[in-house]
Structures are given as structure tokens and as C-alpha cells.
């Protein structure tokens, strides 16, 4: 609804390929009228609204109420803290930036180039990224590898490397941030989800190269991953985070994840974010 043409058309085409029913509406009014008449319940709704506008803030609240437990993502040019707080306050699951959503669509549909934002390129993980993914893991500091993998591994096993680079949407997916280097791209961050033990709740993980940390890359990738998982029909995301990984715990809290103790392991928190219900406002 009210999305740029390339984003809306790409989203419809993508979901259609996976036999997911898609309906598009010219504006919020048309959707609300149709919903009142048919009582449809969308699984996931993408809305191109400015949550800081008083009227559109009201429209967003109406939309969130109308679709009940469905995930509602606002899509906007920027997703700063004020916009995200306003969107979540009006009932949205979260706010996604155009580059992140467009990057996802571009790679799934293979119809256009990667999406660049500043020095970074955001795109989906591809099977041909095996060498880049292995080089990325090797480049991480021992500390970063430990926080991500809970071990001192130096590189991925062939089986794990294959699984990481050959995702199978909708069950699994991965997004990367990369920089151009000569005739190749170097991966500097990865966010992924895969099937977990909780039915229809995917396990996620995010890791950023040491020299690129503290620049908001993990937050952007995780918000994009949430949108992908919601489109895939997941009910939410959850992950295991070491208690000493305070940066990841703070990010999860800011994005509305709730934490609980991990049974049997006092060194780990489990963070979980549902795509239905009323999420906590970001801190």
C-alpha cells in the first residue's frame, strides 16, 4: 500500500512465485473498506506511510487494528529512532528502510542490481558467496567469533559453509552487507535465520566485522531479516545471546525483543520477538 512502484511490484511478484496470495491497494482507505467488507486477515502487511504525520499516524493505527495479529511493517526512506518509536507506538511491528527491502527483492527476483547505501551494499546471501563467507569468518577477531559461534572456531566446516550460503526461502534466509574491493565484494556483516526448535519461530544470528561495528549495520540487517521472516510466514524470531554480549542484548531490546534465561545455561539469554501482538516501544 502506497509503496514505490518498483518495491510494490517486486514484492507482489516475489510472493506470487512462492504461491503466497498478494493483494495490493492504492491507499489505506481502500484497504480498510475492503477489509471491513471481507474481514480478510493478512499474514503480513507492508505500508508506505510516514508515521510522524498526524493523519498517517492515525491511518497506521487503524490498519494495525484492522489486521489483528498480522505483522505490519512500515516502509520508509529512513528508519531513525523517532520514526520507529512512532510506528511501533501506532501498532506496527517495525519500520524498514527502502534500501533493505529493495535489496531483498532485487536478489530474490534477480531483476536488478544490488542496492548501495553509502559505502555498503545490502543484498541476499548467494550460493556463489562460499569463498567470501569463509573469508569473512576468518577475518573476525577471536572475540567476535566466540560471541557469534560460542566457540573458538577459526573457519566454517564444508557442511556448515554450504548450509550458510545455500539458504532455502522461506525456511531459511540470510542478508549480507558488503563493500566493493577491486573486482569483488567483501562481506562485512551477515544476518540469517534458520529453522529452530520452536514451531514456526526461526532462530536468528547477526555478526559484523570488527572494524565495521558501531555503525548501525546490525540493526539494519536485523530489521530487514524480520521483514523477510514475516513474509515467509514465520510467527517470530529468537536467538541465543551470551550474557557478556551486551551490544547484541542492547540491540535486541531496542528492536522489541524480550529476553529470558536459557534453561540449563546461566551464561546465555534467549531473546525473542513475536510478529503479532503489541511490541514494546524501542528504548
Q: Where are the domains of the chain?
A: 5-98, 116-274
DSSP 50: -
| Structural fold of domain 5-98 | Rossmann fold (3.40.50)
Q: Which pLDDT band, with edges at 50, 70 and 90, does 93 fall under? A: confident
Q: What is the domain class of 116-274 according to CATH? A: alpha beta
pLDDT reading at 171 higher than 80 = yes
- E-strand spans in 22-87? 44-47, 71-76
Which candidate, 208, 210, 214, 211, places its Cα nearest to that of 192?
Answer: 208
Smallest Cα–Cα separation from 190: which of 212, 168, 159? 212
With a cut of 90, say whether residue 98 has pLDDT above it.
no
Task: Answer whether residue 108 shows pLDDT above 70.
Answer: no
pLDDT in tens, 227-276: 889 888 899 999 999 999 999 999 999 999 999 999 989 999 999 999 87
Task: Say yes or no to pLDDT of 282 above 60.
Answer: no
Long-range contacts of the stretch 79-87 (C-beta < 8 A, 24+) = 79/220, 79/223, 81/282, 82/52, 83/50, 83/51, 83/52, 84/282, 85/281, 85/282, 86/51, 86/52, 86/57, 87/51, 87/60
> For residues 67 and 136, which has the higher predicted lDDT (pLDDT)?
136
Show the CA angle centred on residue 191, arms to residues 83 and 276, nearest 5°: 55
What number is the average pLDDT over the span 50-62? 78
Whole-angstrom distance, CA of residue 60 vs CA of residue 50 = 9
Q: Per-residue pLDDT averaged across 148-164, rounded? A: 95
- Segment 219-225 mean pLDDT: 91
pTM: 0.78
Q: How confident is the model at residue 222 (pLDDT cuts 50, 70, 90)?
A: very high
Directed axis angle between helix 217-231 and helix 246-254, to 10°?
Answer: 50
Most confident of 50-59, 67-76, 125-134, 172-181: 125-134
Give the single-character DSSP code of 210: G
Per-residue pLDDT at 232: 85
pLDDT at position 115 over 60: no
Domains 5-98 and 116-274 share a fold: no
pLDDT at 210 over 50: yes
pLDDT of residue 111: 39
Would you say residue 209 has pLDDT above 60? yes
Cα–Cα distance for residue pair 196/204, rounded to 1 Å: 9
Taking 60 as the threshold, does the pLDDT of residue 279 lie above it?
no
| Ranges assigned E (strand) in the chain | 44-47, 71-76, 94-97, 115-117, 120-124, 173-181, 184-194, 201-208, 236-242, 258-262, 265-274
Amino acid at each position: 500500500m502506497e509503496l514505490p512502484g518498483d518495491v510494490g511490484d517486486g514484492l507482489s511478484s516475489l510472493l506470487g512465485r512462492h504461491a503466497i496470495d498478494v493483494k495490493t491497494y492504492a491507499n489505506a482507505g481502500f484497504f480498510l473498506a475492503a477489509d471491513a467488507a471481507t474481514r480478510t486477515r493478512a499474514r503480513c502487511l507492508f505500508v508506505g506511510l510516514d508515521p510522524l504525520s498526524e493523519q498517517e499516524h492515525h491511518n497506521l493505527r487503524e490498519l494495525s487494528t484492522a489486521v489483528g495479529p498480522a505483522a505490519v511493517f512500515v516502509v520508509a526512506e529512513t528508519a531513525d529512532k523517532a520514526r520507529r518509536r512512532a510506528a511501533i507506538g501506532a501498532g506496527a511491528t517495525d519500520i524498514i528502510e527502502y534500501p533493505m527491502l529493495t535489496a531483498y527483492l532485487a536478489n530474490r527476483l534477480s531483476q536488478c542490481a544490488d542496492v548501495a547505501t553509502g559505502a555498503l551494499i545490502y543484498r541476499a546471501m548467494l550460493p556463489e558467496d562460499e569463498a567470501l563467507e569463509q573469508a569473512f569468518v576468518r577475518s573476525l577477531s577471536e572475540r567476535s567469533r566466540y560471541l557469534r559461534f560460542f566457540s573458538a572456531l577459526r573457519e566454517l566446516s564444508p557442511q556448515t559453509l554450504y548450509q550458510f550460503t545455500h539458504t532455502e526461502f522461506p525456511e531459511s534466509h540470510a542478508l549480507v552487507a558488503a563493500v566493493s574491493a577491486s573486482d569483488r565484494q567483501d562481506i562485512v556483516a551477515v544476518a540469517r535465520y534458520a529453522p529452530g526448535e520452536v514451531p514456526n519461530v526461526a532462530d536468528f544470528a547477526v555478526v559484523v566485522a570488527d572494524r565495521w561495528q558501531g555503525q548501525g549495520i546490525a540493526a539494519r540487517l536485523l530489521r530487514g531479516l524480520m521483514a523477510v521472516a514475516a513474509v515467509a510466514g514465520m510467527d517470530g524470531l529468537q536467538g541465543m545471546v551470551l550474557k557478556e554480549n551486551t551490544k547484541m542484548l542492547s540491540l535486541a531490546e531496542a528492536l522489541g525483543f524480550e529476553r529470558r534465561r536459557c534453561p540449563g545455561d546461566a551464561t546465555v539469554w534467549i531473546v525473542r520477538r513475536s510478529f503479532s501482538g503489541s511490541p514494546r516501544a524501542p528504548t
